[in-house]
Amino acid sequence: MAAPKFATGLWVVGGTADRFNRLGYADFLSLRAKVAAAARVPGLQGVETHQSEFDDKVTAKDFVHWLKDGGLVCSCMNLDVWSTRQFKLGAFTNRDPNVRQQALDEAKRAVDLAREVGAPSVCLWNGADGWDYPFQADYLEQWNLEVDGIRKVAEYAAPDIKVALEYKLREPRNRMLVGDVGKALAIALEIGLPNLGVQIDFGHALMARESPGESVAILARHNKLFNVHFNESMRDWDDDMIPGTVHLWETLEFLYWCKVTDYEGWFGLDMFPYREDGVQAAAMAIRNLQAMWKLLDKIDMKALKKAQEQMDAVAVHEVVRRMVFV
Amino acid sequence: MAAPKFATGLWVVGGTADRFNRLGYADFLSLRAKVAAAARVPGLQGVETHQSEFDDKVTAKDFVHWLKDGGLVCSCMNLDVWSTRQFKLGAFTNRDPNVRQQALDEAKRAVDLAREVGAPSVCLWNGADGWDYPFQADYLEQWNLEVDGIRKVAEYAAPDIKVALEYKLREPRNRMLVGDVGKALAIALEIGLPNLGVQIDFGHALMARESPGESVAILARHNKLFNVHFNESMRDWDDDMIPGTVHLWETLEFLYWCKVTDYEGWFGLDMFPYREDGVQAAAMAIRNLQAMWKLLDKIDMKALKKAQEQMDAVAVHEVVRRMVFV
Amino acid sequence: MAAPKFATGLWVVGGTADRFNRLGYADFLSLRAKVAAAARVPGLQGVETHQSEFDDKVTAKDFVHWLKDGGLVCSCMNLDVWSTRQFKLGAFTNRDPNVRQQALDEAKRAVDLAREVGAPSVCLWNGADGWDYPFQADYLEQWNLEVDGIRKVAEYAAPDIKVALEYKLREPRNRMLVGDVGKALAIALEIGLPNLGVQIDFGHALMARESPGESVAILARHNKLFNVHFNESMRDWDDDMIPGTVHLWETLEFLYWCKVTDYEGWFGLDMFPYREDGVQAAAMAIRNLQAMWKLLDKIDMKALKKAQEQMDAVAVHEVVRRMVFV
Amino acid sequence: MAAPKFATGLWVVGGTADRFNRLGYADFLSLRAKVAAAARVPGLQGVETHQSEFDDKVTAKDFVHWLKDGGLVCSCMNLDVWSTRQFKLGAFTNRDPNVRQQALDEAKRAVDLAREVGAPSVCLWNGADGWDYPFQADYLEQWNLEVDGIRKVAEYAAPDIKVALEYKLREPRNRMLVGDVGKALAIALEIGLPNLGVQIDFGHALMARESPGESVAILARHNKLFNVHFNESMRDWDDDMIPGTVHLWETLEFLYWCKVTDYEGWFGLDMFPYREDGVQAAAMAIRNLQAMWKLLDKIDMKALKKAQEQMDAVAVHEVVRRMVFV
């Protein structure tokens, strides 16, 4: 695998809020200002954004122009069908057919925008599709609607735009339908379209108690890893921290599996640096990931393969600990 | 113990947002409108609010007037030193002495307001006092500052206003100083003032993997349970749901321990009904809690005591299952 | 759906140990004594056991005889390739081909025994197939071996014996391959054999932060729910407690989804009553499940469907709370 | 602080089992053989053991002799009142006064043995004192008995033997009384004896969602950190893995706080290397901890203090990331 390509979600550098501080920990920036901020991040080559950033006044053409000025490209167009009140009870799975249609229309608009700005993929993170209480959802109905909607979007996007399902166990709903890598893969297998795959968010994988490196391998077996969102967490929640600051070994292992399975996509930062400067946080994220990528070179691959064949944890760590310990 | 007294945090009926939907799942109400909404909740006798709701235009006097109109009283004045940008890195523990002083001034203002509106207690939930990353905090310094601040507030509030520490493991910081009932109690024991105690938030207790009923008992041993925040959760996070909708047995047990230890304080609702109507959610919360309180009457207390003496889980559930199962 | 059929794992009534008390919290019973103990459980119709209980001295014929004496049948033959030292580093995924073959041979023996004793299904819970440390496993190799092994067993069992994958996130390995319902379903979809499906263990679903009722629905969409293991937990771990003692609402919802999807299989108890009497614990488990099954009759199905269509949690609980609250 | 002193629990090198494999993943060794095995661990200076290892045939005198032969000392005598059936429902909190007395007698025997073998401390990990089900325990009674028992042991041990409370959230009981650092500290403050303190087990701190470095600081404020048990985990459970293999940053921060608070006690390994060779696992543990201890020298202390004063996570990690990243 060649050198990794780094993008950032523009929300990383554009201001954050939470339920206790709704007005924000910093000023919220316009799309143009966010691109300009991203352009100041050393080592960054791409950005991700949402279809909801665009309207009559902020066009795809403008965006491409701003990106070009900053020496950047758009690596992924994310679907936003969760930031406004209308989708509060669901998007693809909303039981109101009008709202459901609006959600699918927004998804198609995201595909259109991906084509216009030259992004290779659309990410579906259906944050509103889930439930909060026992008994609240008719699961059969919800699953049928979710799979149906995903299929429609993937068909609309075929053959040139990849559609990546981003799974997440919870938040903003207490539970979400496409909750983990297994469910995302099962949907991809059921629908069976070549341009439908999965996006791993490192923190979401940790929250689902996955071994993130294994999640890469599972998807690579089916050629279904389409995009990556990078961050870090304290494991129980989607803390969206700077990569490499907590779970060093599992981050190294994740990168290792991207490397050995020849992942050729982007590493897109998806952080919420509530109390940090977004540009500084993104810059440190990329430096950490680059440093970890370089640490992988210290692995004696032959010795690692042999130790893994013996399935012996001590033998394995005899090899990999040299990345960090003398 | 007499019939339980129910209050609600006014935020329950006043609109909610989250980090993905900053503009809110419903319109945000003024303090006056929130009191009016609360007055429509059947069974409600009191409200809780924050000192930050008050300024030159919205006075304590106004508030008391509105409450009286609604047949309500103020059961607790909560300290808000976390909803604005200035406290993002800490309040009582902010290393900037000016910000720290502002936080303490706000706490004293909360005590003053409690006196003005006739609230028996001030709740200190110091949501900004914590850290997000390993190595970020000088824990010794933070703990000294936190204890020092709490002591000052408790001294200012003595003897007539109770100061209750509301513990929480995390959110909005990834970890917070006063994280669980043990730490809150240890602080209360260290400071040793009779008007300093602890407030249990049911969901915070679950998140810390406490048995909420045990948390009541631990505090009751020291006469330190000063106030209760009620809600429900999926256990891993502070979901602030309607009580009684998930962990029925642990809620019953919590109420049981309030009853047998003669807790005489309020049960204040602290929910975030993001996608529900706040008034309806509060009404159901009170009905559920009243129903559970009544279910406790079905316990054969002599049989329960005997089964607990035998420490036999089957024998115990033979007694308590009759609350729910025929 | 007709009345539910209850079985128990014979280990429930046969003595338990843990890593701190290896000698056991009660005496371990022989297979014959376990069947006799099970026969004393009111309401029980079936038992589950493991292929490893049988040898030259304890034959399938003996077992069928003992069962008949107790008025019981065998509802499931479980595969044990984890209780002995030889499989400590893996069974189907062991990198030593000899050990791997032994594991597959044991699985075929389980299928043979299922046929001999008249059990409709074999359960594969591959507790040793996983890893404990980052970097320990070659995930690609492990997944290929696991899928390959499962396919071979399912082919051997076709067409008359159902093979059910029992997923579990962790324990005894820190992470296991077939970790959640999504991964189990993805494997079943990949292999595509009609006699290959999934077994839900209620506590495993909770540990994976699934909504257990949703797990039923997901599998029912593909007609892949083959067997159920019932128990209860504190959610974070596989505590194997008595059903109905903690998560009442989620247990009710699980039973509800079994009912509305016409699940026709068994409910097999899989508890570890370390400090309780096994027969008493099983008896209470069945009484609790029967009581909950009966509570479902209180649901106004039309009202529930309508509330679920509105996706309104308060409206839904207005309907379902009547099962418990007056 | 001088160079760290390393001990190992003798159980680390003596064979392990779990509830699924009761016969063990390796042969169980005699006390003498365990001491001999420990003596082969490079860098090891001490061992911990339990009072229950001793009887008429295996005396303290024998033990001291074997230790001397291996160039080792005994760093801590642990109390075992949980490995046998008699204590299954509780030790210090058993409601049967006879069993309770036996537990206290064993604790006094542990103190006696500590004196005989020259160990500076006794560790009380009361694994059986807790509960498994809601309503099972009379918490008030349990807490009174627990505090009473601890006080008696501390008084018996005064003034020369330190008594350290080892807290743990759960396992083998679903919840245990002395569950986290806050509760342990609160007990120590309540009893108020100078020879009563706390022992931190690194994995227990992680399981309670503590920041282990903060736990050190909290206890250091009260001069109450008496002993350390070292291991590593996947955070949700007490996995007892080799230190440094998962949570590198939090382990470094833990060691940092031991260093800056001048902790002068032992680092005792408490691992369960189920599938690994115990001696190799212990050897790697010590090498990892020594390597991490050395990495701390790379911290620019002045820069760290300044960054912590600014409370800025990026500034802090600019300093500490140099321990690992170039």
Structure tokens at B199: 């407030």
Predicted local distance difference test score (pLDDT) of residue C1: 60
Residues of B in contact with A171 (CB under 8 A): 237
Task: Report, in this order, helix, strand and coil percent for chain D, each rounded to 5.
Answer: 45, 15, 40
Q: Could you tell me which chain C residue has the CA closest to the CA of D242?
A: C133
Residue of B nearest to C277 (CA): B314
Q: How far apart are CA A188 and CA D122, in angstroms?
A: 57
Q: How close does chain B come to C170, measured CA to CA in Å?
A: 18
Distance CA C149, CA B130 (A): 49
Residue D68 tokens, joined? 């001397």
Question: Crossing angle of helices C278-295/C31-38, nearest 10°?
Answer: 40
User: Before C172, cis peptide (omega within 30)?
Assistant: yes
DSSP D205-269: HHHTT--HHHHHHHHHHTT-EEEEEE-B--SSS---B-TTSS-HHHHHHHHHHHHHTT--SEEEE
CA dihedral B126→B131→B136→B140, nearest 10 degrees, is 50
Relative to beta strand A225-230, strand A266-269 is parallel
To the nearest whole Å, the CA of D234 is away from the closest chain C CA by 7
**In this structure, are strands B130-131 and B175-176 parallel, antiparallel, or unpaired?**
antiparallel
| Cα–Cα distance for residue pair D40/D72, rounded to 1 Å | 11
Report the pLDDT averaged over residues D127-156: 98
A70-82 tens-digit pLDDT: 999 999 999 999 9
Taking phi over 0 as left and psi of -120 to 50 as alpha, with beta for the rest, D180 belongs to beta
Number of A/C CB contacts below 8 angstroms equals 172
Tally C-beta pairs within 8 A across A and B: 99
Amino acid identity for residue B26 in this structure: A
E strands present in chain D: 5-9, 46-50, 73-78, 121-124, 130-131, 162-166, 175-176, 196-201, 225-230, 266-269
CB contact under 8 Å between B324 and C247, yes or no, is no
D248 CA: distance to closest CA in chain A (Å): 6
- Tokens representing A86 are 């209308």
Contact in structure between A216 and A263 (CB atoms under 8 Å): yes
Taking the CB of residue A294, how many other CB atoms lie within 10 A of it?
12
Other C-beta atoms closer than 10 Å to the C-beta of D192 total: 10
What residues contact A176, with CB distance under 8 A and at least 6 apart? A126, A127, A129, A130, A167, A168, A169, A170
To the nearest 10°, report the CA torsion of D167, D171, D174, D177: -20
Give residue B192's region: left, alpha or beta (phi > 0; psi -120 to 50): left
- Measuring CA to CA, how many Å separate B263 from each of B58, B258, C226? 33, 5, 49
Relative orientation angle of helices D248-260 and D278-295, to the nearest 10 degrees: 70
Check CB contact under 8 Å for A284 and D317.
yes
pLDDT in tens, C229-258: 999 999 999 999 999 999 999 999 999 999
CB A208 within 8 Å of CB A169: yes
| Residue in B closest to A126 by C-alpha | B20
Per-window interface: D 191-210 vs A, CB < 8 A: 209
Give the pairing type, strands D121-124 and D73-78.
Answer: parallel
pTM > 0.90: yes or no: yes
B313 reaches C (C-beta below 8 A) = yes
Binary contact (C221, A257; C-beta < 8 A): no
CB contact (8 A) between residue C324 and residue B248: yes
B241 to A133: CB separation less than 8 angstroms, yes or no: yes
Which of B11, B236, B275 should we substitute to test contact with A (largest number of A Cβ atoms within 10 Å)? B275
Interface test with B, best of A80, A133, A209, A284 (most B CBs within 10 A): A133
Residue D241 and residue D271 in contact, taking contact as beta carbons nearer than 8 Å: yes
Per the CB < 8 Å rule, is D174 touching C83? no
Are A163 and A153 a contacting pair, CB within 8 Å?
yes
Inform me whether the C-beta atom of residue B261 falls under 8 Å from chain D C-beta atoms: yes
- Residues from chain C that touch D134, judged by Cβ atoms under 8 A, are 245-246
Instruction: Please judge whether A84 and B22 are an interchain contact, meaning their C-beta atoms are less than 8 angstroms apart.
Output: no
Q: How confident is the model at residue B215 (pLDDT cuts 50, 70, 90)?
A: very high
pLDDT beneath 50, residues of chain C: none
Cβ-in-10-Å burial (0-12, 13-18, 19+) of C277 comes to middle
Q: What is the rounded CA–CA span in Å between residue B133 and residue D312?
A: 10
Inter-chain touch D253–B134, beta carbons under 8 Å: yes
The dihedral over CA atoms of A93, A96, A100, A105, expressed in degrees to the nearest 10, equals -170
Among C189, C209, C312, whose Cβ lies nearest the Cβ of A169? C209
Listed by number, the residues of chain D in 7-46 with a beta carbon closer than 8 Å to a beta carbon of chain B are none
CA torsion A95→A99→A103→A104, rounded to 10°? 80
How far is A281 from A272, CA to CA, in rounded Å?
9
In B89-202, DSSP assigns E strands to 121-124, 130-131, 162-166, 175-176, 196-201
* A245 at interface of B, judged by CB pairs closer than 8 A: yes
Q: Where are the alpha helices (DSSP H) in chain C?
A: 31-38, 60-69, 97-117, 139-157, 181-191, 202-207, 212-221, 248-260, 278-295, 301-310, 313-320
**Nearest-CA residue of chain C relative to B296?**
C325
Three-state DSSP class for residue B154:
helix
Q: Does C321 touch chain B (CB under 8 A)?
A: yes
Of C139, C216, C309, the CB nearest to A213: C139
- Helix A248-260 to helix D248-260 angle, to the nearest 10 degrees? 150
Which chain A positions have a beta carbon within 8 Å of D321's beta carbon?
Answer: 244-245, 284, 288, 291
Say if C297 is an interface residue toward chain B (CB within 8 Å): no
- B interface test, pick of A16, A18, A171 with most B CB neighbours within 10 Å: A18
pLDDT at D121 over 70: yes
Q: Can you tell me the distance from the alpha carbon of C179 to that of C185, in angstroms, rounded to the nearest whole number?
A: 11
Considering only residues 205 to 244 of chain B, which have any Cβ-Cβ distance to chain D shorter than 8 Å?
208-211, 213-214, 216-218, 220-221
Nearest to C245 by CA among C279, C271, C210: C271
The helix (H) or strand (E) run that includes residue A163 is strand A162-166
List CB contacts of C217: < 8 A, sequence separation 6 or more.
Answer: A139, A140, A143, C257, C261
The whole-number average pLDDT for the span B249-263 is 98
In the predicted model, is pLDDT for residue D215 greater than 80?
yes
- The Cα of D294 is separated from the nearest Cα of chain A by a number of Å equal to 9
Rounded to an integer, what distance in angstroms lies between the CA atom of residue A127 and that of residue A135? 19
Q: Are C74 and C118 in contact (CB under 8 A)?
A: yes
Chain A residues touching C189 at Cβ < 8 A: 186, 189-190
Q: Which residues of B touch D185 (CB under 8 A)?
A: 182-183, 186
- Percent of chain D at pLDDT > 70 equals 100
Structure token digits, residue D67: 């230790």
Q: How far is B316 from chain C (nearest CA, A)?
A: 11
Q: Do residues B167 and B179 touch, judged by C-beta distance below 8 A?
A: yes
Q: pLDDT tens track of chain A, all 326 residues?
A: 678 999 999 999 999 999 999 999 999 999 999 999 999 999 999 999 999 999 999 999 999 999 999 999 999 999 999 999 999 999 999 999 999 999 999 999 999 999 999 999 999 999 999 999 999 999 999 999 999 999 999 999 999 999 999 999 999 999 999 999 999 999 999 999 999 999 999 999 999 999 999 999 999 999 999 999 999 999 999 999 999 999 999 999 999 999 999 999 999 999 999 999 999 999 999 999 999 999 999 999 999 999 999 999 999 999 999 999 98
To the nearest whole Å, the CA of B85 is away from the closest chain A CA by: 5
pLDDT of residue B1: 60
How many Å lie between the alpha carbon of A152 and the closest alpha carbon of chain C? 19
Rounded to 5 degrees, φ, ψ at C286 are -70, -40
pLDDT of residue A1: 60
pLDDT beyond 70 at D1: no
Residue in A245, A284, A295 closest to D249 by CB? A245
Residues in chain A closer than 8 A to C89 (CB atoms):
311-312
Phi-psi region of A4 (alpha: psi -120 to 50; beta: other; left: phi over 0): beta
Enumerate the β-bridge partners of residue B162: B121
The CA distance from B141 to the nearest CA of chain C, in Å, is 34
Residue A3, pLDDT score: 87
DSSP D13: G
Share of chain B above pLDDT 90, in %: 99
User: What distance in Å separates residue B301's CA from the closest CA in chain A?
Assistant: 31
| A290: phi then psi, degrees, rounded to nearest 5 | -65, -40
The residue of chain B with its CA nearest to that of A88 is B275
Instruction: Compute the nearest-CA separation of C25 from chain B (Å).
Output: 14
Q: Is B87 on the interface with D (CB under 8 A)?
A: no
Q: Residue B225: which H helix or E strand, with range?
A: strand B225-230
On whether any CB of chain D is under 8 Å from the CB of C57, the answer is no
Q: Do A85 and B18 touch (CB under 8 A)?
A: no
CA distance A169 to A203: 11
Cβ atoms of residues A245 and D249 within 8 Å? yes
Q: CA-based diameter of chain C, in Å? A: 62
